[in-house]
Amino acid sequence: MTNLKKLAGGVLLLAVALPLVSGCEQVGAVLHKAGDMLGAKSDGASAGAAGGGTPAGMQMPAPEVGFIVVHPTSAPIVEEVAGRTAASAVAEIRPQVGGIIEKRVFEEGSRVNAGDVLYRIDARSYQATLDAAKADLERYEASVPSAQAKFDRYQELANVNGVSKQDIDEARSALLQAKAAVASAASAVRTAEINLGYTEVKAPISGLIGRSSVTEGALVTAGQATALATIRQIDPIYVDLSASSTSMSRMRQTIERDGVTAGKEGPRVTLKLDDNTVYEEVGHIISTEANVDETTDTVTLRSSFANSKMLLLPGMYMRAAVEIGTEDDVFLLPQRAVTRTVTGQATAYFLTPDNKVEARVLNADRAYGFDWVVEKDVADGDRLIVEGVQKIRPGMEVKSSEVELGANGLVKPKAAAAAPANTTP
């Protein structure tokens, strides 16, 4: 190309110098020689360019794709709902006897066990009542032997007509009254013992106890309206889920569908925490509300979860996945291998037996993990393209190789080639 430019420049100089040349024959000879030189250089350049280019008719190499072989499997049917946690048992602590609070034994916000002492009420008056009841019991018990002896003596005299029938009846009545007095006194002793025991306010259930509404020195009364404290049992803990009436109908229809197997322990439930991690314990639906809330058009599903680490507290908002059952003979297609049109129609690329690309329209409206659940339009042993989808189009012949997917749905990197053995002695 550089030589051509130089030659063209020389021709231009000749044209400028024409007036200086004498004779037409000389001018024509010069131009003819320059044209021959320019043509020769041009032909050589063209031949060189043709020799260095791509030969006509050469085709681009077939694109490389990775595929997996799909097989039918089972997949859970999951319904996404939301709800809130609730304590499995709640106990409001109220005194059963009145008096002055001598001591608060527990720490606010701590875990207590059933039977732990929470408050101590001044017990002196109740101890005195118990002592008096015991004294009355001893007095009445002491009167029984004499009444019994008198009745027995009158019975012996009645055999010889030594006493009247009225005297015998009066002796019998006195004996019965003495025994009744003993029973009444014994009951009074038990009541006094119970009331004395109530001066120690104990936890009726195990759980977390909240703040105390009274302090030491406060006067409390039996059965007062204000609770001294509240205990909430959160192991196990309930999660009350709200499902729309439409979702409930869909779940019932799904369970009754052929090919769907329901769990023996009821629907399984998994929770997702605020940080998008999945709660380690799996729960189960234990009850379903018998009616639909007319205000919200929802049905409450109560689920139960183990909560030994106290990670869940009452009132927390939760997102839950309810596993209604398991559907058999479905295909799990990686989400990365399925594309969507502007109308939302799912499409995936498969390999034909002659290694050409085939596009299929699928009904993929349910996700499970990193996969789409597909019930039809796929056969056992089909080769699904999962890598290199961007480089292909339907009908294109490709170079394919089978790949392996990881748990995250991504293609696992190929293992590096082994290093050559060291043969140096």
Residues 241-260 have pLDDT tens digits of: 999 888 888 777 776 766 56
194-197-203 Cα angle (round to 5): 115
The whole-number pLDDT of residue 332 equals: 92
- Reference 213, options 108, 285, 288; nearest CA is 108
Please state, in angstroms and rounded to a whole number, the distance separating the CA atoms of residues 114 and 43: 106
Per-residue pLDDT band at 7 (split at 50, 70, 90): very low
Looking at residue 366, the DSSP 8-state letter turns out to be E
Residues 44-95 have pLDDT tens digits of: 444 444 444 445 556 678 899 999 999 999 888 888 899 999 999 999 999 9
Please state, in angstroms and rounded to a whole number, the distance separating the CA atoms of residues 314 and 323: 23
* Verdict on whether the full-model pTM lies above 0.75: no
The whole-number pLDDT of residue 263 equals: 62
**DSSP E strand boundaries for 3-121:** 64-69, 73-93, 99-104, 111-112, 117-121
Q: What average pLDDT does the segment 33-53 reach?
A: 44
Please state, in angstroms and rounded to a whole number, the distance separating the CA atoms of residues 355 and 374: 23
234-237-239 Cα angle (round to 5): 140
Residues 347-377 have pLDDT tens digits of: 999 999 999 999 999 988 888 888 999 988 8
Please state, in angstroms and rounded to a whole number, the distance separating the CA atoms of residues 13 and 15: 5
Helices (H), 17-123: 24-52
Residues 374-396 have pLDDT tens digits of: 988 899 999 999 999 888 999 99
The whole-number pLDDT of residue 108 equals: 96
Q: What average pLDDT does the segment 125-131 reach?
A: 97
Please state, in angstroms and rounded to a whole number, the distance separating the CA atoms of residues 403 and 399: 13
Please state, in angstroms and rounded to a whole number, the distance separating the CA atoms of residues 231 and 210: 6
Per-residue pLDDT band at 157 (split at 50, 70, 90): confident
Considering 82-96, 141-155, 314-328, 384-398, the range whose residues carry the highest mean pLDDT is 82-96
Looking at residue 15, the DSSP 8-state letter turns out to be H
Q: What average pLDDT does the segment 190-218 reach?
A: 97
The whole-number pLDDT of residue 425 equals: 42
Please state, in angstroms and rounded to a whole number, the distance separating the CA atoms of residues 41 and 33: 13
What mean pLDDT value characterizes the chain?
83
Please give the helix or strand (H or E) that residue 154 lies within, else none.
Answer: helix 124-158
The whole-number pLDDT of residue 92 equals: 97
